[in-house]
Amino acid sequence: MRNLSVLTPIVSIFCIFFLLYQITLVASSTPPRYVSDDAIITLDCGSATDKSKDMYERDWTGDFQSKFFPKEELNNLKSNTSKAPIEGTVTKAPYSTARISSSQFTYVFPVTFGPKFVRLHFNPVIYPGFERSKAFFTVKAGSFTLLRNFTASIPADSLQEKTFFKEFCINARKDQKLNLTFIPFSTTFYAFINGIEIVPMPDNLYYKPQGISEEGIPYLSGNPFYINDDMALEMVYRLNVAGNLISPTDDTGFFRQWSQDNNYFKSTESAIPHEPSLKPDYSVIPNYTAPDAVYQSARTMGFNRTKNSLSNLTWGLPVDTGFNYLVRLHFCEIDPNMNVVGQRRFIIYIDSLIAEQAADVILWTEKIGTPVYKDYVVNIRKKGDEGSHILSIDLHPITTIHCDDSILNGVEVFKLSNSDGNLAGPSEMLPSFPPVPSAKEVSTKKTIFIAIGGGVGVLVLLTSACFMILWKLRKSRRYGSYHPLSKFWCWRDPYKGKSTRTKASSLPDEVCRHFSLEDIKTATDNFHQELIIANWARKCAENGTIYEIIDPYLKGKIAPECFKVYVEVAENCVRDQGVQRPTMNDVMERLEFALELQQNADAAQEEINPGGDFTYQEVLSFRVSGRTTGAGAPPRINFEPVLESDTNPSLDSESVTVTSREVFTDNSNTTT
């Protein structure tokens, strides 16, 4: 009996551990919330292995000699398989091998009717025999263009990730196969892919077709919007607000990855309520909409009502311009004290447009712990040459007797294909091949640039020649002899005794190397003051008639900010002291900047009056550090501050104004 009494607690402890093990086993083998009759395809491209495990222990099938082996366009240019070099940790499927080709190849997938997740996995390392910089290609899915002139190394370097994936939503038609085609830019470039993943989804997860959905999605630029079956979507952001990263295996059966929002949250501070034990009540939305973890954490504004009423919860998400975007916001009230309608009310702004005037999670769900999401579609218009835009999400509290607060649990953002099935953004253009402007645009810009460059060139040439001749004449009077100018002369810095010419010219030896004294005296009527263009330009600036130096053909076509930079360049080129004059590199940089300002101003005018003619106001005078140029000493315009940065200046209106102000700062104290 004594022995039995000793064994009793041991047996009890064993039973408890066995029971806990069984519970854990059942929990880990619980099926996902959404299970489709269609098979999930996970293709390990370039691999000859039948089954490979990824970092989440999912199986991937090699494409070599499989039913998914790609179709080649050219028989003489077969695709290659390559193993990714091992860098640090061992790379697992699907990133350990790649399918690479300099010609077009297509994967054909027999899939059933309905929407599918399509994920393209990339590992942009240096593969044997291929340059990393030569990976430029387009990816098409049937009639949809998913990526155009895409280089995987750019997003990888931007994200500071060795591997990444692109996720799309595509609706498969009846009796059609899903074709994924990879097209190199040319035979000197190549296309590659490491892995392809195709996962079925419910019809109503993201698609809201007209005629089936009871009501459309609120469109912040007009009538309700419908996401029809003939559209494709690209997942741009999927964020677990204030929570941890959620791995694909912890999703609801779609193998989606939910990232942290830390890099996109712009407010200075927030409160982060967290309820890990919360069991969400999916009575309003399907339980496969998002994982529980999304609704167990949130961002709120905290308890400082005064500060809250003067601020927002703000997220900034960079997106491509020229597309509509589906913005899905996930909500779940997890504060047990917020259980009455009207306690926590707030305004939702998306890209500075009001999406909800009085959001109230309890009003939408009727109780705490109940998830809900709200969809909105916003159009991000392209402005000029702007290729990227910060899509803002702002939540501003409405003051109530209870609190001044707002709440958000999750964010999803999808780019929607346009009318021709394109999803490729302007940031995916080949850098070496800029878009060709229209003939009218080329003519106007070319004329303006030639006029600006030619004008400054003449000023530099004549002024330099005059100064050189006067210097030679003074030298000849000092030493009592005259030596003709060498045809191999170059201007020398009188303070350093060194040539300022830093680059060898590509012109023939006898061209633009020398002028005879008689030639210059003839051109200037024996150095008559009225025929020296530099003096005339200075007098125009002093007398407030600077507009007279503009070619009559170009009057009204030059933007004032462009003209001011041109005048600044000209003034600096005719300084008396050589050390005060800019180098030719500096001159070219400033002329390029002037051209950018002109293009930016033209784009702004085109947006105001598309296809119409416009005339710029003439600049009669301009200010130099608070005073208008006029009679007296010529203005000193500081040339150096605007050349401190190696990067091109921003072309938004605010930065242009600031730059113009900096260009015309007073430099009257400069020693000469």
> Residue 73: which of 202, 213, 184 has the closest Cα?
184
pLDDT band at 655 (very low <50, low <70, confident <90, very high): very low
Highest mean pLDDT among 427-436, 515-524, 616-625: 515-524
Q: Helix, strand, or coil here: 81?
A: strand
Could you report the per-residue pLDDT of 379-395, keeping only the tens digit for each? 999 888 888 999 999 99
pLDDT band at 527 (very low <50, low <70, confident <90, very high): low
What does the alpha-carbon distance between residue 149 and residue 427 come to, in Å, rounded to a whole number? 9
Could you report the per-residue pLDDT of 540-551, keeping only the tens digit for each? 766 667 767 777
What does the alpha-carbon distance between residue 7 and residue 433 come to, in Å, rounded to a whole number? 82
- Residues 134 and 189: beta-carbon distance below 8 Å: yes
- Residues 116 and 143: beta-carbon distance below 8 Å: no
Q: What is the 3-state secondary structure (H, E, C) of 459-495?
A: HHHHHHHHHHHHHHHHHHHHHCCCCCCCCCCCCECCC
Calculate mean pLDDT across residues 640-664: 34
**Is it the case that residue 36 has pLDDT exceeding 70?**
yes
Calculate mean pLDDT across residues 159-182: 94
pLDDT band at 455 (very low <50, low <70, confident <90, very high): low
pLDDT band at 21 (very low <50, low <70, confident <90, very high): very low
Q: Which of 7-11, 471-475, 639-643 is predicted with the least confidence, judged by mean pLDDT? A: 639-643
**Is it the case that residue 480 has pLDDT exceeding 60?**
no
- Residues 233 and 168: beta-carbon distance below 8 Å: yes
What are the φ and ψ backbone dihedral angles of 314, each rounded to 5 degrees?
Answer: -130, 135
**Is it the case that residue 357 has pLDDT exceeding 50?**
yes
What does the alpha-carbon distance between residue 93 and residue 49 come to, in Å, rounded to a whole number? 10
CB atoms closer than 10 angstroms to residue 252:
17
CB atoms closer than 10 angstroms to residue 616:
18
More confident: 619 or 116:
116
Q: Helix, strand, or coil here: 455?
A: helix
pLDDT band at 641 (very low <50, low <70, confident <90, very high): very low
Enumerate residues 6+ apart whose C-beta is below 8 A from 401: none
Burial of 266 per CB tally in 10 Å (0-12, 13-18, 19+): middle
CB atoms closer than 10 angstroms to residue 661:
11
Please count the residues of the chain: 672
More confident: 231 or 532:
231
What does the alpha-carbon distance between residue 163 and residue 124 come to, in Å, rounded to a whole number? 7
pLDDT band at 497 (very low <50, low <70, confident <90, very high): very low
Q: State the average pLDDT for the chain.
A: 78
Angle at 33 between CA 165 and CA 255, to 5 degrees: 10
Dihedral sign, Cα of residue 72, residue 76, residue 81, residue 86: negative
More confident: 51 or 85:
51
pLDDT band at 312 (very low <50, low <70, confident <90, very high): very high
pLDDT band at 453 (very low <50, low <70, confident <90, very high): low
> Residue 395: which of 328, 301, 303 has the closest Cα?
301
CB atoms closer than 10 angstroms to residue 143:
12
What pLDDT score does 132 carry? Answer: 93
**Is it the case that residue 484 has pLDDT exceeding 50?**
no
What pLDDT score does 32 carry? Answer: 80
341, 345, 348, 353 alpha-carbon torsion, rounded to 10°? 110
Highest mean pLDDT among 239-243, 435-439, 523-527: 239-243
Q: Which of 108-112, 258-262, 554-558, 612-616 is predicted with the least confidence, judged by mean pLDDT? A: 612-616
> Residue 321: which of 382, 233, 377 has the closest Cα?
382
What are the φ and ψ backbone dihedral angles of 385, each rounded to 5 degrees?
Answer: -95, 10
**Is it the case that residue 535 has pLDDT exceeding 50?**
yes
**Is it the case that residue 78 has pLDDT exceeding 90?**
no
Per DSSP, 91 falls in state P
**Is it the case that residue 22 has pLDDT exceeding 50?**
no
Q: Helix, strand, or coil here: 643?
A: helix
Highest mean pLDDT among 14-28, 194-208, 640-654: 194-208
What does the alpha-carbon distance between residue 281 and residue 86 come to, in Å, rounded to a whole number? 46
Domains of the chain with bracketed CATH = 34-201 (2.60.120.430), 207-427 (2.60.120.430), 439-499+510-663 (no CATH)
Report the Cα 130 to chain-centroid distance in Å. Answer: 27
CA distance readout (Å), 307 to 23, 186, 310, 338: 47, 57, 5, 20
Q: Which of 244-258, 334-348, 483-497 is predicted with the least confidence, judged by mean pLDDT? A: 483-497
**Is it the case that residue 504 has pLDDT exceeding 80?**
no
